[in-house]
Amino acid sequence: MSDPQTLAVYDAQADDYDAMMQAEATADPRVHHFIAALPEAASVLDLGCGPGNYARIFAEAGLKVTAIDASAEMAGRAAAIPGVTARHGFFEDVTEQDAYDGIWASFSLLHAPRAELPDHLTRLREALKPGGTFFIGMKTGTGGGRDDLGRHYEYYSQEELEILLQTAGFSPAQHWTGYGKGLAGQYDGWIVIHANG
C-alpha cells in the first residue's frame, strides 16, 4: 500500500524533483552498468520511475521501456517521453511472469512498508526473466520514519537487504555505497545493489 502523504509530496514537488533527478540520472554511472548487463533491445521495467529521467536514458539506448509510478503526476511526465510506456500504478501491480530482461528500482522501494518488501521482491523476481538483471537502490540505516517533507522511508543495512534479496531468489553480485543529499535537503547513506535473477 502506498503512503498518501508521500505521494502528495511528489505530486506537489514534481518540478523540483524532476530538475534534481535530471541532473542525477545524467551523472549516474550505475545506469550504464545496468544497460551493459542487458541484451540488445532488452525489455526493462523502471519501477517507481518518477518523471522518467532514467527511463529516457534506457529508451535512448534502444531498450523497450515499461515504467510505473504511484504518483499520477510523475507517471504522466514519464508517459510523455518517446519510447517509454508508462502508467500510474503501485508496486503490487507488477504481476507479470518472466517479462523483463532487467528491472530498475532506483530508490523507490524504500517507500514501501517494511512488512511488504519481501512480497514486492518476490513479485519482481517472478517478473524478471531467468538470469535477468535487477538493480535496487535504498537508503541505509535502521528503522523508518518521515523526512522533513513528510515522505515515509524505510532504511536497511547492506546485510539485511542482501538477505531479503536472496530469500526472494536473487543473487547479489555487486554493490555501490555513498552519502548524499535528497530533495528534502537531508543527507543519508545509500546503497545500490546489482543482483541477478
Domain ranges for the chain, please list them.
4-89+98-152+159-196
153-180 mean pLDDT? 96
- The pLDDT tens digits for 116-143 are 999 999 999 999 999 999 999 999 999 9
Those residues whose C-beta lies under 8 Å from the C-beta of residue 57, and which sit 6 or more positions away, are 25, 26, 31, 35
What is the per-residue pLDDT for 61? 97
What average pLDDT score do residues 79-107 get?
97
Q: How many CB atoms lie within 10 A of CB 118?
A: 13
Model confidence at 10: pLDDT above 90 = no
Instruction: Calculate the CA dihedral of residues 82, 84, 88, 94 and round it to 10 degrees.
Output: 170
Read off the pTM.
Answer: 0.94
Tell me: pLDDT of 1 over 90.
no
Task: Look at residue 21 in the predicted model and tell me its pLDDT.
Answer: 85
Whether the per-residue pLDDT at 113 is higher than 60: the answer is yes
Are residues 40 and 63 in contact, defined by beta-carbon separation less than 8 angstroms? no
**pLDDT tens readout for residues 47-89:** 999 999 999 999 999 999 999 999 999 999 999 999 999 999 9
pLDDT of 166 reads: 98
Name the least confident of 86-90, 102-106, 187-191. 187-191
Q: How confident is the model at residue 109 (pLDDT cuts 50, 70, 90)?
A: very high
Amino acid present at 75: A
In CATH terms, the superfamily for domain 4-89+98-152+159-196 is Vaccinia Virus protein VP39 (3.40.50.150)
DSSP-assigned letter for residue 103: E
Cell of 163: 538477505
| Helix residue ranges, H only, the chain | 4-12, 14-27, 30-36, 53-60, 72-79, 117-127, 158-168
